[in-house]
Amino acid sequence: MPFAFLDKDLLDKNISSLLNRAGDKKIRIATKSVRCTWTLRYILDHHPRLQGLMCYSVREAAWLATEGFDDLLVAYPAFHSEDIREIVPMLKRGKRIYLMVDLEDHLRQVNQVGREENVRIPVCLDLDMTSKFPGVYFGVYRSSVNNKEKADMFFKTLKKYPFVHCRALMGYEAQIAGLGDNVKGKGAMNAIIRNLKKRSVKEVALRRKEVVALGQRQGVEFEVVNAGGTGSLETSRQESWVTEVTVGSGFYASHLFDHYKAFKHLPAAGYAIEVVRNPQPDIYTCLGGGYVASGTPGKDKTPIPYLPEGCSFIENEMAGEVQTPLKHKGGKLELGSPVFMRHSKAGELCEHFNELVIVSNGEVVDSVPTYRGEGQCFL
Ligand SMILES: Cc1ncc(COP(=O)(O)O)c(C=O)c1O
């Protein structure tokens, strides 16, 4: 200890329920929420509908391509020519890789590299899926293309860039996929969020449909129309023009994804810290443990004690840099025994550990490297 673990049996169950939730849609795996090539292969091998990876950096996509992965959609833009150039050898070897774009500056940069390398570089338009309601910006700030008119302009602009090949569209409805609507003790807020989600679903579906049609009219042949994330499978799958949905967090099921009304996944991954002190009868202090997640700072970004049951944080300390004191009711914990914790965000767990200990039937069966364990750090 400390070590990170992945329970293969729970992962299997999560994969099955995610396949069910996605209906007949293909599922692209969001690598940011996995960050371990063993797990990526394990998931991809599970079912033919699990297909392709959504990467979070071009350097990562280039590395994964050399590791034998294919069909890589880089979901966030690359700007510098050196980064864009990374994927060119892989494209020339026949790998399917798409770069994300939404501004003409992106197109110009990609086109320049394509011209220098004499290759048409496949790109994906990122369509903003925010819903704007009176007084509420229901969504995230990512793409500049947030309506049909801008999308139409984008498709027209493409014609100026012969080394750019637009083959994909991605619309990530973060406000539906990534926002819990069943948070304990937040009844009124949950009701508001569920209502906003309901309204947003209709609106974003129409936007995606219209933009696909616009692109097709401008001669774009979409190989991929990507939608959603773990929290939106039930709605994203309903759009016939969507060819695939994305899932990342649902595989490990980190605790941010405990708070959705429509589904429950099982806590497949987490980490163990060791009890090293017992300053008061019911207080046990563990070594390490302070792996707080990114995003708006708040209690939902701290890890949570998982097993043994009955552990809770000390409000003034929470999960600490080198020590994590826990209150435990319900029996003595021995020095040297583990306390299992769950991370808030799935993939970030792997940034703190070189290995994932694979558990099955309550026993350790293997240990596999994370991205970090393979010496890879992208963001
Ligand atoms: C573009 C995009 N698609 C899909 C997802 C969904 O990932 P997850 O299933 O891990 O929530 C994300 C998460 O941020 C994303 O940025």
Domain regions of the chain by residue span: 8-251, 269-374
User: Which residue's alpha carbon is nearest to atom 5 within ligand 1?
Assistant: 229
CA distance 37 to 348: 14
Pair type for strands 50-55 and 26-30: parallel
Pick the CATH number of 269-374 from 1.10.3720.10, 3.40.50.720, 2.10.69.10, 2.40.37.20: 2.40.37.20
Contacts of 106 (CB under 8 A, 6+ apart): 77, 79, 99, 100, 123
User: Position of tokens 């150039």?
Assistant: 85
Distance (angstroms) between ligand 1 centre and the Cα of 239 equals 18
Q: Which atom of ligand 1 is nearest to the CA of 226?
A: 3
Atom of ligand 1 nearest to the CA of 347: 10
**Superfamily, domain 8-251:** Alanine racemase (3.20.20.10)
Mutate to test the pocket of ligand 1, among 33, 125, 169, 345 (most ligand atoms within 8 A of CB): 33
* Residue identifier of the C-alpha nearest atom 4 of ligand 1: 229
**SS3 label, residue 300:** helix
Query: What's the 321 CA to ligand 1 centre distance in angstroms?
Result: 28
Q: State phi, psi for 106 to the nearest 5 degrees.
A: -60, -45
> How many CB atoms neighbour CB 315 within 10 A?
8
Q: Using the mean position of ligand 1's atoms as its centre, give its distance from the Cα of residue 315 in Å.
A: 31
DSSP annotation string for 130-195:
-EEETTEEES-S--S--SHHHHHHHHHHGGG-TTEEEEEEEE--HHHHS--S--TT-HHHHHHHHH
Query: What is the dihedral sign for C-alpha 317, 322, 328, 332?
Result: negative
Task: Specify the ligand 1 atom closest to the Cα of 249.
Answer: 10
What pLDDT score does 103 carry?
Answer: 98
Closest protein CA for atom 2 of ligand 1 = 172
Q: Partners of 364 in the beta sheet?
A: 359
| CB 249 less than 6 A from any atom of ligand 1 | yes
- Indicate if 269-374 has the same CATH topology as 8-251: no
- CA end-to-end distance (rounded Å), the chain: 26
Q: What is the pLDDT of residue 65?
A: 98
The whole-number pLDDT of residue 330 equals 85
Residue nearest to atom 6 of ligand 1 (CA): 229
272 in contact with ligand 1, CB cutoff 6 A: no
Probe target for ligand 1 pocket from 14, 32, 53, 224, with the most ligand atoms within 8 Å of CB? 32
259 C-alpha to center of ligand 1: Å?
Answer: 16
With a 6 Å cutoff on the Cβ, whether 177 touches ligand 1 is: yes
Q: In tens digits, what is the pLDDT along the chain, a chain of 379 residues?
A: 999 999 999 999 999 999 999 999 999 999 999 999 999 999 999 999 999 999 999 999 999 999 999 999 999 999 999 999 999 999 999 999 999 999 999 999 999 999 999 999 999 999 999 999 999 999 999 999 999 999 999 999 999 999 999 999 999 999 999 999 999 999 999 999 999 999 999 999 999 999 999 999 999 999 999 999 999 999 999 999 999 999 999 999 999 999 999 999 999 999 999 999 999 999 999 999 999 999 999 999 999 999 999 999 999 999 999 999 999 998 999 999 999 999 999 999 999 999 999 999 999 999 999 999 999 999 9
338 in ligand 1 pocket by Cβ < 6 Å?
no
CA of 170 to the centre of ligand 1 (A): 11
